[in-house]
Structure 1
Amino acid sequence: MSHVLIHDPTLRDGHHAVRHQLDAAQLRAYAAAADAARIPVVEVGHGNGLGASSLQVGRARLSDDEMLSVVREALTHSRMCVFMLPGWGRAADLDRAIAHGADLVRIGTHCTESDLAERHLGHLAERGAEAHGVLLMSHMAGPGELAEQCARLVGFGASGVGIMDSSGHFLPPDVTARIAAIREAVDVPVMFHGHNNLGMAVANSVAAVEAGADIIDGCARGFGAGAGNTQLEVVVPVLERLGHTTDVDLYRLLDAADLAERELMRTQPVIDSVGVVSGLSGVFSGFKSHVLDVSRREGVDPRDVFFELGRRQAVAGQEDLIVDVAEALGQAARQEQHA
């Protein structure tokens, strides 16, 4: 069996679930708990990454600088990671993150657009920073395409690559095929990041490890966008029971999860009806709050909005499309009523 590196984006992906409003005390408390549990990597930031705080996707309570400073001070064992999407973040944001002590940077792109990461990965390489490339919405590309994109990321300087099941759409065979193809194409660590819209996040993470993944993402209590992420305090003991090692302290991990439920979240993520539809339609889980708000305003069924967004192959960063779709559905319904 293998050693699996656990990566915890609770303080980044979890921000989606609370509209990016975590405060300094919450960040500090969870970071300290994760550090005590010997979680190897703790990721922090706005849900959409460095530079993303905005009216379009939500303004964070704290600036990037404040978040990084607070978490850096709380970590003595764990490494600190940041995430950035080209177009939201800039090279200057990366430089500030490095100055704040970020140990690892993840550059994310849409699953077929790895070329957008080339400049930023090169920038990080020039500064001697460890950088990984990750592909979002990975259900929208097949195994061969994802393997090719990951190989390009390595060529651009990524020292690790991986895929995010951003909409919680995958079933285990989908993950197995994709991770196996990527594993064959690259000789760097491979990562999988799951969402739980169809209740498959832990099973998909296990499938990823069995197919050759080295890094698994998980959030305390699944705290994350939509129906939530892979539940960290579940996936770690499951992997250990299967014979893999993580070096995470189980009791301290459970303590961190209890703290997260108590201090970070209003309610624990659940697989509700909208979450299921988001997964089935293959739409980014982080759209949930926006879809619900706009659907309520326009008087339309949010499930219809999700399926239409799926038909249009909407991706993260296209939040404006939610308004277009809801308005079009509302207008069509009114015309039908008056016909």
Structure 2
Amino acid sequence: MIQFFDATLRDGSHANKHQFGVEDIENYCQRIDDAGLDCVVVGHGNGLGASSLHIGLSKITDAEMLMTARENLEHTKLGAYMIPGFGTIRENIKPAIEIGVDLFKIGCHCTEADTTKQHIQYIAEQDLPVYGVLMMYHLISTERLVEEAMKMQSYGAYGVIIMDSAGASTPELVARTIDALCDRLHIKVGFHAHNNLGMAVANTYIAIRHGATIVDGTVRGYGAGAGNCQIEALAALLQKENIKTKLNMYRIMDVSEELVRKYPLSNTGLDDVSIVNGIAGTFSAFKHHAIRAGSQFGVDPRDILLEAGKQKLVAGQEDMLLQIAEQLRDHNKQFDDSYFVSSLL
């Protein structure tokens, strides 16, 4: 049976600049609790410990978010996400366990599984489900990705989820990657899609067809960049294909229309900047940072993302977008000045 992990209150935090409040979390958890989802992951867009001026300040603390969700989830597991470097075992994981988090996802850049070892091992030793997440997986070879996933397996991960952080995946890449992981791992394999090229639902469906049994998605596709795999749309597709799930499609649709539709920036669909983000292969949450940097320095945010892609920037390097924007402005000014001089000759 496919497991569905709902990231609306985590990945969706990117879309509203990490401004989910107590009432938002309370209402969402109460309404989604009987929708057949396996887990609702709650927190800052970059996970536990990530709230900062650099990345974006949360409206409320990690503890407040998790406690609110815990009090309003009865049938659905409460999940938390953390990237080592943003959060730690002592300051973030232990308090989350005390609050009552049922399930953890520990993420890292696709080449850095080593950084998750102590965190995955610690959570596994507490007899709690823990899943490794390999972000920006499109940047490395399938063979290297399998090696990194096998490390997470050796640390005690219940499963490995590959994250299409840039929404850059093609169907062929998804199929090849999931096949390789399922062939080599003896734990569950999952897929987290972004929609920058309009392929999130299709790519998730392909992942399922090739053996993935964990699906990350969000209601209404609410998430970073152009959004995530839209759970209710995927549920409809799976129903059409006679693939059984526990999902209550109508309940999820009701939550989408009555709650998520009203969230700030809920129209995070495909646009020119999101599409270029997918082409560039950059972290989906860079979109709004690039737009702000472009406005500040008077350059095209699409050019910022393309350059960020060339430099292979990853989550946590948002400040580099400002540097790129400044360099592009100076380059454009130099070009304009030289053109003006040459036109006078």
TM-score, structure 1 normalization: 0.97
Structure 2 contact 15–266 (Cα < 8 Å) conserved? no
Matched, 1:298 2:319: no
The aligned residue for residue 191 of structure 2 is 192
Structure 2 contact 197–275 (Cα < 8 Å) conserved? yes
CA distance in 2 between partners of 1:135 and 1:289 (Å): 23
Structure 1 contact 26–263 (Cα < 8 Å) conserved? no
Q: Which one of 65, 70, 73 corresponds to residue 71 of structure 2?
A: 73
CA distance in 1 between partners of 2:224 and 2:309 (Å): 17
The aligned residue for residue 6 of structure 2 is 8
C-alpha displacement of 1:263: 3.9
Deviations along 1:61-84, whole A, 9 cap, x unmatched?
Answer: 010000001111110000011000
Matched, 1:90 2:88: yes
Instruction: Name the SS of the counterpart of 1:285 in structure 2.
Output: coil
Structure 1 contact 169–197 (Cα < 8 Å) conserved? yes
Deviations along 1:123-143, whole A, 9 cap, x unmatched?
Answer: 212322211101000110122
Question: Aligned partner of 1:17: which letter?
Answer: A
Q: Give 4+ residue runs of structure 1 displaced > 6 Å after superposition.
A: none
Instruction: Name the SS of the counterpart of 2:108 in structure 1.
Output: strand
CA distance in 2 between partners of 1:26 and 1:67 (Å): 10
CA distance in 2 between partners of 1:336 and 1:45 (Å): 44
Structure 1: give runs of 5+ residues left out of the alignment.
none
The aligned residue for residue 150 of structure 1 is 149
C-alpha displacement of 1:243: 2.4
Question: Aligned partner of 1:80: which letter?
Answer: L
**RMSD in angstroms over aligned alpha carbons?**
1.0
CA distance in 1 between partners of 2:211 and 2:125 (Å): 30
* Range moving further from structure 2, 26-35 or 239-248: 239-248
Question: Aligned partner of 1:299: which letter?
Answer: G
Matched, 1:228 2:221: no
Question: Aligned partner of 2:337: which letter?
Answer: H
Question: Aligned partner of 1:73: which letter?
Answer: E
C-alpha displacement of 1:23: 1.0
CA distance in 2 between partners of 1:260 and 1:144 (Å): 42
Question: Aligned partner of 1:81: which letter?
Answer: G
Deviations along 1:37-81, whole A, 9 cap, x unmatched?
Answer: 121110100000000000011000010000001111110000011
The aligned residue for residue 342 of structure 2 is none
CA distance in 2 between partners of 1:65 and 1:72 (Å): 10
Kindly report which structure 2 residues correspond to 1:110-125, keeping only aligned pairs within 5 A, or say none.
Answer: 110-125=109-124
Q: Which one of 40, 62, 65 corresponds to residue 64 of structure 1?
A: 62
The aligned residue for residue 217 of structure 1 is 216
Is the alpha carbon distance of 1:162 and 1:262 closer, same or farther for their aligned partners in structure 2, counting shifts above 3 Å? closer
Kindly report which structure 2 residues correspond to 1:130-141, keeping only aligned pairs within 5 A, or say none.
Answer: 130-141=129-140
Question: Aligned partner of 1:5: which letter?
Answer: Q
Structure 1 contact 35–76 (Cα < 8 Å) conserved? yes
The aligned residue for residue 282 of structure 1 is 281
Question: Aligned partner of 1:67: which letter?
Answer: M
Percent identity over the alignment? 41
Question: Aligned partner of 1:40: which letter?
Answer: D
The aligned residue for residue 264 of structure 1 is 263
CA distance in 2 between partners of 1:80 and 1:294 (Å): 35
Structure 2: give runs of 5+ residues left out of the alignment.
339-345
Point out the structure with max Rg over C-alpha.
2
CA distance in 1 between partners of 2:5 and 2:263 (Å): 18
C-alpha displacement of 1:5: 1.0
Instruction: Name the SS of the counterpart of 2:215 in structure 1.
Output: strand
The aligned residue for residue 246 of structure 1 is 245
C-alpha displacement of 1:320: 1.7
Q: Which one of 14, 17, 20 corresponds to residue 18 of structure 2?
A: 20
Instruction: Name the SS of the counterpart of 1:98 in structure 2.
Output: helix
Matched, 1:159 2:195: no
C-alpha displacement of 1:171: 1.3
Structure 1 contact 222–268 (Cα < 8 Å) conserved? no
C-alpha displacement of 1:34: 1.4
Deviations along 1:232-263, whole A, 9 cap, x unmatched?
Answer: 11011212222222211121111121133344
Instruction: Name the SS of the counterpart of 1:21 in structure 2.
Output: coil
C-alpha displacement of 1:267: 3.2
C-alpha displacement of 1:217: 1.1
Instruction: Name the SS of the counterpart of 1:12 in structure 2.
Output: coil
